[in-house]
Structure 1
Amino acid sequence: MNYDQTIDYLITRLPMFSRLGAAAYKADLNNIIRLCDFLGNPQRKFRSIHVAGTNGKGSVSHMLASILQAAGYKTALHTSPHLRDFRERIKVNGEMIPKEYVVSFTEKIKPVIDEIDPSFFEISVAMAFDYFADEQPDFAIIETGLGGRLDSTNILLPELSIITNIGWDHMNLLGDSLEKIAGEKAGIIKTNTPVVIGEVIPETKEVFIKTALEKAAQLTIASSNWQATDWKWKDHELQVEVAEQHRTDRQVYRLDLPGLYQTKNILTVLEACSILKTKGWNIPEEAIHTGFRQVKKTTGLHGRWEQIHQHPSVIMDVAHNEAGVKQLVAQLELTDHHALHIVLGMVKDKAIDKVLALLPHHAVYYFTQASIPRALEADELRSQAEAIGLKGKSYPDVNTALKQALAVAKQDDLILVCGSVFLVAEVNL
């Protein structure tokens, strides 16, 4: 098989959560253990940093990778889902895994695929572990898929665990309370391994403290040690003034990810760097500044308040759950524009009603859907939105919807594409 045939085989042969939802979720670690046993347990052959959380884990993973690369460390990165190319999930120093490796790995693992019928995500994780074991990076930053305790990545024994935050998402799989969701995410905390928590709320703080005590894991809460004291947008950058607890001086960091919600993620990354420095890793302040300024250039991260067109402005953002959309709406309120146009598509297993309730009534809506089975049909999304006063028309795909928005919008208007990672992935502009 060539590369395209291999990807087609993986997508059609294996259950894929991004397409099917809960039906593709494997609620145990048996398959990944079997896969890694077959491969000679590659996950034991490189140092890792394990990142979980409801929102922000992708941004934190990419920021930290950028900083470690700026500090001179060979850095691997595993994230999901991808936007356009499967190989976005598996990178070393910002370079995607070679197509030839994807093909040869798939051929090698086929006997086990036939034996245990793993999920798409389980195979992608095993492939990442195998590739990183071959590449021998100084660090591999591994983002969980969802949850933590039963996530396929959770056979790692990392140098550091990071949990960004807890919010309402994947409740059908992770639990119907914030405490239960926090318990699943806390499953990545390992014995005698430091853990950084980005931010906590009363419902989750005690869950993390209890788990860390049981595992004798050093726990720090980034939002208690660092504070974003000021911020501004300038030249398509987010500039954030940060104060560290017990210090009078302040640092201003410039970030090429201009989403205001990154002010929280920056603090998590700074605390992670602080912990790594106490473990003997050399991460100069200059590397931290450089890493923040070059996240997109260094790692190829996209879809985080990303401007893809001017006059009118077109912004893409992968926010898709209640907490993410709440932050997105807060940013909209601070953004200069005349009329607001929102191209919106969601998947069926999200809390649709809670997300819609957050969205502004004054916007013009273009309801659409991604080309995956999980997508909520555009007409159904429009119907639910109209029931609470959001007005607009439905369109068969995101590019048709965006084309109409561009035809209608004036030069000083703002067009926002959001609601689903998979919707953003299909934008062609």
Structure 2
Amino acid sequence: MNYQQTLQYMFERLPMFQRQGASAFKKDLGNITKLCNYLNNPQNTFKSIHVGGTNGKGSTSHMLASVLQEAGYKTGLHTSPHLKDFRERIRVNGKMAEENFVVEFVEAHKSFIEANQLSFFELTVGMAFEYFKRQQVDVAIIEVGLGGRLDSTNIITPELSVITNIGLDHTAFLGDTLNAIAGEKAGIIKPNIPVVIGERQEETTAVFDTAAEKSNAPIVYASDYEFTNLESELKGAYQQKNKATVQQAVAVLNERTAFTVCNRALVVGIKNVVSNTGLLGRWQIIQESNPKIVCDTGHNKEGLTYVMRQLEEEPYKHLHIVLGVVSDKDLGSILPLFPKEATYYFSKPDVPRGLSEEDLQQKAAAFDLHGKNFKKISEALEAAKNASNTEDLVFVGGSTFVVAEII
């Protein structure tokens, strides 16, 4: 198989949560343990930092990777989902894994993949661990996929665990209260391994404190401290919380691990995070003017709350919103966040989980959000651009998959 055929095999033959939803979710570590044993446990050959949380874990992971790169460490980065190219999930010093590595890995282990019915994510995690081993990275930033306790990434023993925050997302799998979700996220706290919590939240602090105490894990909350709002290529004002979490994480790395990160590496790493790691889709400006077009991957209540606040700070004559969501999204919690005075362009992201544009239009109308529907995200964006004046603003979002289609 060539690269495209390999991807087609992976997308079509392996259960993929991002595309299919619940049917692809496996709530145990059995398969990833089998896979890593079969690969001679590559995850034990390099140091790592584990990053979980409901919102901000992707941005935080990229910032940490950028900072460690600037500090002179050969740094691996495993994140999910990808937006344009599968290899965005596996990077070393910002460079994506080679196409031929992906092809050769799948070809070499195809019989094991099929015999053990690996999910797409299980395969991807094992592939990333093997790549980081071969590349002999000094450290790898490993972003949790979903939850924490039973996430496939949770077979590593990191130097540091980071949990950004807790919000109501993926409640069908993680629980329908912040307390329950925090319990799942706290599953990445390991014995004697320091943990940084981004935000102290009333409903979750006791959960994290108890888990840390049981594991004798030193715990610190970034929100308990004041940090300089460092400049960054990530322009969303909501990134301040993620930057503070990274600054606290670096302080803990310097204090409690063998890593040494100077202030220059911290400042430059946070500033040049997009250039260093290729991060996309976080308050990303697609077009500067005539009209200005912005996209963001925020897709749950907490994430979209920050995005809507950012929108309120933008100057514009009229707001146009290209909106698409997945079918298992709790629309009752997110649609009230959107401004009623905007003009909407409803569409369906091109994945099996996507909610039809007609259903979204109908459900949005119940919240007094009105506009036309379009078969494709690209058509919706084109219509928004054509209807906009030079002083208007076009926002594109609601789902990672919506953003992926327009970048």
Counterpart residue number, 1:276: 253
The count of aligned residue pairs is 405
- CA drift of 1:270 comes to 0.2
Q: Aligned partners of 1:73, 1:119: CA distance in 2, in Å?
A: 31
Counterpart residue number, 1:307: 285
Q: Give CA deviations for 1:19-73 in whole Å, capped at 9, x if unaligned.
A: 1001100100000001111100111111000000000000000011111111111
- 1:426 matched to 2:395? The reply is no
Q: Give CA deviations for 1:200-251 in whole Å, capped at 9, x if unaligned.
A: 2111000000000000000000000234xxxxxxxxxxxxxx2xxxxxxxxx
- 1:254 matched to 2:254? The reply is no
- 1:330 matched to 2:323? The reply is no
Q: Aligned partners of 1:272, 1:22: CA distance in 2, in Å?
A: 33
Q: Aligned partners of 1:114, 1:346: CA distance in 2, in Å?
A: 31
Counterpart residue number, 2:61: 61
Report % sequence identity. 51
Counterpart residue number, 1:264: 241
Counterpart residue number, 2:267: 289
Out of 334, 344, 359, the residue aligned to residue 380 of structure 1 is: 359
Equivalent residue runs for 1:203-214 within 5 Å: 203-214=203-214
Q: Aligned partners of 1:270, 1:259: CA distance in 2, in Å?
A: 17
**Which structure 1 segments of 5+ residues have no match?**
228-241, 243-251
Q: Aligned partners of 2:124, 2:198: CA distance in 1, in Å?
A: 27
TM-score, normalised by the number of residues in structure 2: 0.98
Give the residue type in structure 1 aligned to 2:223: S
- CA drift of 1:337 comes to 1.1
Equivalent residue runs for 1:12-411 within 5 Å: 12-227=12-227, 242=228, 253-278=230-255, 279-309=257-287, 310-411=289-390
- CA drift of 1:348 comes to 1.2
1:426 aligns to what SS in structure 2? Answer: helix
2:51 aligns to what SS in structure 1? Answer: strand
Give the residue type in structure 2 aligned to 1:332: L
Q: Aligned partners of 1:417, 1:172: CA distance in 2, in Å?
A: 26
1:106 aligns to what SS in structure 2? Answer: helix
The answer to whether the Cα contact below 8 Å between 1:342 and 1:366 also exists between their aligned partners in 2 is: yes
The answer to whether the Cα contact below 8 Å between 1:166 and 1:200 also exists between their aligned partners in 2 is: no
Q: Aligned partners of 1:226, 1:57: CA distance in 2, in Å?
A: 20
Q: Give CA deviations for 1:77-99 in whole Å, capped at 9, x if unaligned.
A: 00000001000000000010011
Q: Aligned partners of 2:7, 2:280: CA distance in 1, in Å?
A: 22
- CA drift of 1:340 comes to 0.3
Q: CA RMSD in A?
A: 0.8
1:253 aligns to what SS in structure 2? Answer: coil
Q: Aligned partners of 2:226, 2:258: CA distance in 1, in Å?
A: 21
Give the residue type in structure 2 aligned to 1:313: K
Structure 1 stretches of 4+ moved >3 Å: none
The answer to whether the Cα contact below 8 Å between 1:16 and 1:121 also exists between their aligned partners in 2 is: yes
The answer to whether the Cα contact below 8 Å between 2:52 and 2:147 also exists between their aligned partners in 1 is: yes
**Which structure 2 segments of 5+ residues have no match?**
none
- CA drift of 1:280 comes to 3.5
Q: Aligned partners of 1:201, 1:78: CA distance in 2, in Å?
A: 27
Q: Aligned partners of 2:89, 2:278: CA distance in 1, in Å?
A: 11
Counterpart residue number, 1:9: 9
TM-score, normalised by the number of residues in structure 1: 0.93
2:230 aligns to what SS in structure 1? Answer: strand
